[in-house]
Amino acid sequence: MATLDLFNTLSGTVQPLSAVGAPELRMYCCGPTVYDYGHIGNFRTFLHVDVLRRFLRQQGVAIRYVMNITDVDDKIIRNAASAGLPIAEYARPFETAFFEDLEALGIERPEIIARATECIPEMVALVEQLAAKEFAYQAEDGSWYFRVARDEDYGKLAKKDLDQIEDGARIESGEFNKDAVRDFALWKAVKALPDGSKEASWQTPLGDGRPGWHLECSAMASKFLGDTFDLHAGGEDLMFPHHENEIAQSESATGKLFARHWMHVRFLLVEGKKMSKSEGNFYTLRDLLLRGHRVSALRFLLISVPYRHQLNFTFEDLAASANAIDRLRTFHKRMVKGADPKSIAPFAEGINPAIEEGTTQAAELYTAALANDLNTAEARAAIFDLVRAANTATDQGTLLRGNAVQILAVLDLFDGVFAVLKDRDAELTRAALVWAEKENRLNEADPALLETLAFSDAEIDALVAERTLAKKQRNFARADAIRNDLLGKGILLEDAKDGVRWKRK
RNA sequence: GCACCGAUGGCGAAGUGGCUAACGCGCUGGUCUGCAAAACCAGUAUUCAUGGGUUCAAAUCCCAUUCGGUGCUCCA
């Protein structure tokens, strides 16, 4: 039985994904161009790759995952120039922010992270290899281009017909000296910036210049994963021309298959429209945190819709995801208490076989759903079915301690991929506020959020204790006043049999 | 313009020929509670964008139309 059946863009079918000829599954994902903060669309892609990676590891597959950081490109050069900074100085803070965001979202760090600017020799070598085979040529201005016409199977990933590409293509200024419009830049000869100074460049045997965008991924993937590797992932927009060009470069140079499997994550819409700055529906993770949304809710929402489907992001659904997570966390705590013989009210000893069967079935459905092209929606449903059944049984007193232990194991399995049960939300929101203060953007923060977080846990605990005392004295007016006051500040109290619970909304 | 993908309840979404169309959120009523919250129970789409067709049988297959998205140009 296959560990994971995954849609392969190259073949157009769902195929088993597996490590071939190596103990580790070797995968590559196109990382960010670090010219700004990451937005929720960027993170949808990285989150789904994280789901893939976590699930494979759960299935016992070892992984070697490489992500590149594009730290030199047109936008970085342009923005750095207008900020009056060297490109590295301009880009580095965004790179740091990107990794902070990944961490906050629970996205595991790839084994290898490679910066484009640190792999220049490998890129140069690749162009030289291509030139030797006449796939690359140097134009009058000193730039190097890939000769698409010489690559017979060009277009095989995106299923493009070459004639169409030519029809739609347009000649960019500065690239007029290419032999054919569809030829793409491998190495861009150095140019002057608007202020007359020289843009960032490297002195190489190819001339003074900088790498083209597609070149870095080809060079880095080979450097760290070999000429042929198992999986290449990225957003759907990268399929053409970026990934197609990577294939063209790598396969023309090596004569070998580049990536066996290609995974493309679909774009998301925001409130029914394409996310864009001009529509005013463009959000970075940090924007959402300052508005009082929780990181866990965003993670859960973005991964709950399977990667091949368009997801329509709305604030209503973000709130719904937060509520769904609360339910899961409440349930998880209930099972932890019931399973612990030392807790105040552990469940009765034993195992109820009917519940045991349901638990096993939930785990099987969950695994089968993810193994089927990462159907996260169905995997989620299997877990919620278990939650409902277990809650009902608990209410009826038929769920025994052994069942709780088994259910916790299934929740661990679920959380190994979804990673939303552990509550770090308040902590991460606080970190975002610290960042906002440093960046002078605290004015963008939701006032209610600031008020809620201003309350320390100790202060809340003190008020809860005061209310418990008032309740004992049957002073319900005072008790309710404290509860309502806290609720107004975003803190919700729950009176349970074994004491008072509270949580930040 | 050309190519490709999609349209399922109030919202998100699973399901790709055959049991009462999953699951989450929301809403309404009930149980529990001093009152709440949490949890549970019941209800909440006779129907899957629209029109036609194939079939004993269609949300699922085919054709057309409408709307949305993507690529052809920087983009996750």
A 221-280: CB within 7 Å of strand B: 234-242, 265, 267-269, 272-275
- Domain match, A173 and A153 both: yes
Number of H helices, E strands in chain A: 17, 17
- How many separate domains does chain A show? 3
A386 touches strand B (CB under 7 A): no
Which pLDDT does position A503 carry in this prediction? 86
- For A270-281, how does the pLDDT look when each residue is reduced to its tens digit (9 = 90+)? 888 888 877 788
A158 touches strand B (CB under 7 A): yes
Of A219, A203, A218, nearest to A142 by C-alpha is A203
Element (H, E) at A33: none
Q: Which domain holds residue A387?
A: 317-418
Q: Does the pLDDT value for residue A387 go beyond 70?
A: yes
Whether A292 is covered by a domain: the verdict is no
Question: A323: pLDDT confidence band, cut at 50, 70 and 90?
Answer: very high
- Domain match, A179 and A202 both: yes
Alpha helices in A226-352 (DSSP H): 244-254, 285-290, 295-304, 315-339
- Domain match, A433 and A391 both: no
- Domain match, A196 and A61 both: yes
How many other C-beta atoms are found inside a 10 Å radius of the C-beta of residue A416? 12
Residue A220 to residues A112, A120, A172, A229, A481, Cα–Cα distance (Å): 10, 10, 27, 12, 62
Q: Which nucleotides of B are covered by protein (CB under 7 A)?
A: 1-3, 6, 10-15, 22-26, 33-41, 68-76
Of A214, A261, A289, nearest to A43 by C-alpha is A289
Q: What does the alpha-carbon distance between residue A489 and residue A452 come to, in Å, rounded to a whole number?
A: 5
How many other C-beta atoms are found inside a 10 Å radius of the C-beta of residue A345? 10
CA of A199 to C1' of B65 (A): 53
Which pLDDT does position A44 carry in this prediction? 95
- Domain match, A378 and A448 both: no
Of A224, A211, A204, A217, nearest to A250 by C-alpha is A217
A 274-293: CB within 7 Å of strand B: 274-275
Q: Does the pLDDT value for residue A172 go beyond 50?
A: no
Of A172, A177, A188, nearest to A74 by C-alpha is A188
Q: Closest residue by Cα to the C1' atom of nucleotide B34?
A: A476
Alpha helices in A348-375 (DSSP H): 353-371
- Domain match, A449 and A406 both: no
A 482-501: CB within 7 Å of strand B: 483, 492-496
With pLDDT > 70 as the criterion, what percentage of chain A qualifies? 96
Q: What does the alpha-carbon distance between residue A289 and residue A319 come to, in Å, rounded to a whole number?
A: 13
Whether A308 is covered by a domain: the verdict is no
Mean pLDDT of chain A: 91
- Domain match, A333 and A409 both: yes
Which pLDDT does position A161 carry in this prediction? 67
Nucleotide nearest to A234 (CA to C1'): B76
Q: Are A370 and A55 in contact (CB under 8 A)?
A: yes
* Average pLDDT rounded to a whole number, residues A39-51: 95
- Domain match, A351 and A485 both: no
- Domain match, A172 and A91 both: yes
Q: Please state the ipTM of this predicted complex.
A: 0.93
